[in-house]
Structure 1
Amino acid sequence: MQRPAELISYPQQIAITATGLIWSRFSTQIVPVNYNLLAVNAFMAVTGLYQLQRKIRWDMEHKEEAQAAAAAVEKAA
């Protein structure tokens, strides 16, 4: 949760979110319903979504800076 947003990996967070969602669904389909498994994996899915949201917001805020830096490099070359 404290990792800098620029170091967050899209593929890793998508995998964590998907795993959380899949196993949350599975935990409700087995008999008896495993509420501990549901809670852990729902938290995993929510955490993955939160980290993806942080990364997307960081990328959008710094997109202009990256474009300006690329333009400066291109102009210098």
Structure 2
Amino acid sequence: MAPTSNILRAARPLFRQGAAGPSPFFNSQAQQMFRNQFRQQGKRWQSTASGEQQQSASWFKKAWESEVGIKTVHFWAPVMKWALVLAGISDLARPAEKLSFAQNFSLMCTGLIWTRWCFVITPKNMLLAAVNFFLALVGIAQITRITMHNMSKKDGDEAVVEAKAKA
């Protein structure tokens, strides 16, 4: 098989202007009309959105070059940690007897400890603080559900014991 450079070298004349003869689509008059359509008296055509594009480019540049920007672990770790928060929120639909107290307690403690730590470290990472805060909230909500379920279960057991004692 021939190297790629030889194939491209052989194809170069096909890509040169006029190699295949004059184009029926673009004669000199059509080319001039095309140029005049997009140029106005020698000035290039410019949209009104160029200022907005320039501002968005500067926003992206700031986000890219920031200490906690898009190209750092300080950005991607919190983004991936949102999966834990979403999993905890989806567990709100599960029955309380199927939830693990130890797991939800560890999520709550992790969220509380790391939320505090995000304000102490340098650079301050607000995205990480936010995800840990919500992780703590989800853990607190689940622990509350588990505790309330266990308390109602104990009350029900006591009522059964009292009913058996009376009978």
TM-score bracket, shorter-length normalisation: 0.7 to 0.9
% same residue:
37
Query: Higher relative CO (CA 8 A, sep ≥ 6), structure 1 or 2?
Result: 1
Provide, for residues 20-66 of structure 1, a one-character-per-residue CA deviation record: whole Å limited to 9, x for no partner: 11111111111221000000000000100000000111111121334
More helix by share: 1
Q: TM-score, normalised by structure 1?
A: 0.80
Alignment RMSD, CA only? 1.8
Structure 1: unaligned runs, 5 residues or longer = 73-77
| Pairing 1:61–2:149 present | no
1:21 is aligned to: 112
| Rg (Cα) greater in structure | 2
Structure 2: unaligned runs, 5 residues or longer = 1-91
**What CA distance in whole angstroms lies between the structure 1 residues aligned with 2:157 and 2:102?**
21
| Pairing 1:4–2:95 present | yes
Q: TM-score, normalised by structure 2?
A: 0.39
| Pairing 1:50–2:128 present | no
**What CA distance in whole angstroms lies between the structure 2 residues aligned with 1:31 and 1:46?**
24
Q: How many residues align?
A: 71
- Which structure 1 residue ranges, 4+ long, deviate > 4 Å from structure 2? none
